[in-house]
Amino acid sequence: MRRTSFKMTLLKLRESQIMKIHYLTGICAVFFVAIHILFRVVMPFGQSLEYQNVIANYHNIYYVVLLELILIFVSIHGFNGLRIILLELKQSDRWESIMTILVLAAMIGIIAYGTRTIIVGSGL
């Protein structure tokens, strides 16, 4: 009996750490998206979407780092939120393990593909 309560405490601690990551990535995502919007406000919206300006942005190392940070924080936050929703649908240890693995794989895939796109766009 004592061993079971210890195990449950560890699971709660683990889940609390995951929620701290979820909150932190949400705050960081809002912060970096705000900076991204400030980049866009520098010139008129239509002009900022012209091909030459978009390519010029991808050659700005600060902008490339900003895009990568947005990609990472939004992906982690979004996929963790999806994981939380999926865990509410069904609650068992096996379901939690499967959903965690699937969500992590999808998150890594999206981040890898997005990073590839940023690298191709910046010409690195």
CATH of the domain at 70: 1.20.1300
Query: Domain containing 9: what range?
Result: 2-122
Supply the pTM of this predicted model. Answer: 0.80
Q: Quote the CA–CA distance of 112 and 124 in Å, as a whole number.
A: 15
Structural domains of the chain, count: 1
* Mean pLDDT, contiguous 10-residue spans, the chain (124 residues): 48 73 95 91 84 87 94 96 92 88 94 94 79
